[in-house]
């Protein structure tokens, strides 16, 4: 199975802490994506998002600074035993907004375009983010 890496830089008007909390709070996460989410702000804890279609574990959490998660999508093109790694790194910009350096490693090649579009369509756009070309 060939794996790909997605790297994006997204600019938000919200602060790093607000973006962090939006991702790590079940209720906020559910509002952003329009689907059920069960996520906790504890390292080593499992999570389930997208009404159970995505699951994983919180590997590293630094409030307002960084989120690292293992991540698996339950789809035909994604092997059941395969977990990718998602990293969100937040930095405050000069206007009090956020620059999010986002990396999603280990995406099965067949799933890459859908995952790339999914992050933009269901996360960044809904959170008011603008994806910058790298």
Per-residue pLDDT of the chain (134 residues; tens, 9 = 90+): 899 999 999 999 999 999 999 999 999 999 999 999 999 999 999 999 999 999 999 999 999 999 999 999 998 889 999 999 999 999 999 888 999 999 999 999 999 999 999 999 999 999 999 998 66
Tell me the whole-structure pTM to 2 decimals: 0.95
Q: List C-alpha distances in Å: 69 to 13, 38, 45, 57, 128.
A: 24, 14, 10, 6, 22
Domains and CATH numbers, the chain: 3-132 (3.30.530.20)
CA distance 50 to 38: 9
Ordered alpha helix ranges (H), 1-134: 16-24, 26-33, 112-119
Identify the residue whose tokens are 């960044």: 124
Q: Could you give the strand order of the β-sheet that contains 98-108, starting from the edge strand earlier in sequence?
A: 46-49, 54-62, 66-73, 84-92, 98-108, 3-12, 130-132
* Contact predicate 9/91, CB 8 Å: no
- Structure-token match 């579009």, residue found: 117
DSSP state of 124: I
């Amino acid at each position: 199975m060939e794996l790909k890496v997605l790297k994006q830089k997204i600019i938000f008007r919200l602060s790093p802490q607000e973006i962090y909390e939006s991702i790590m709070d079940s209720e906020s996460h559910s509002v952003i994506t329009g689907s059920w989410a069960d996520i906790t702000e504890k390292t080593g804890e499992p999570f389930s998002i997208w009404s159970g279609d995505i699951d994983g574990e919180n590997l590293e959490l630094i409030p307002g600074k960084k989120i690292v998660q293992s991540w698996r999508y339950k789809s035909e093109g994604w092997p059941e035993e395969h977990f990718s790694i998602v990293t969100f790194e937040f930095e405050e910009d000069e206007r009090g907004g956020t620059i999010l350096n986002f990396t999603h490693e280990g995406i099965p090649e067949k799933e890459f375009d859908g995952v790339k579009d999914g992050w933009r369509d269901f996360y960044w756009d809904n959170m008011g983010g603008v994806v910058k070309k790298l």
